[in-house]
Amino acid sequence: MEIEPIKECSQTILAIHDVMDLFKGKWKMSIIACLCYKKMRYSELLREVKGISGRMLSKELKELEMNELITRNVLNTQPVAVEYEITEYGATLKNLTKTIAKWGLNHRRRIIGK
């Protein structure tokens, strides 16, 4: 059964709005992109995601965990450390982060010639 073009457009827009709402701001995609490659401790993420404050990183990590995209693991170390890992569900975003990064690099070259 084929969906009417107008309905298909409105469903597409709704889905895009859902994604944009989930990833609002500039940090969540960067955090997801980092965690798609390896587990990271809080301090590693803070170093890797340039420009993010500790408070903002904590907030973004909580929201990503709430949306089942990452897991938070408390390590049995002294002092206690926390490690973050992409979930199986969150890993479905890996290709999207690669696509966005590739498009961004091409756009940067086109607009500013670098």
Architecture of domain 26-112: Orthogonal Bundle (1.10)
Q: According to the model, what pLDDT value does residue 10 have?
A: 84
* 109: pLDDT strictly greater than 70: yes
Q: How confident is the model at residue 23 (pLDDT cuts 50, 70, 90)?
A: confident
Q: According to the model, what pLDDT value does residue 82 have?
A: 93
pTM recorded for the entire structure:
0.82
Rounded CA-CA distance 67/64 in Å is 5
Higher local confidence (pLDDT), 80 or 1:
80
Tell me the average pLDDT across 32-39.
95
Higher local confidence (pLDDT), 51 or 24:
51
Is residue 64 within 8 A of residue 28, CB to CB? The reply is: yes
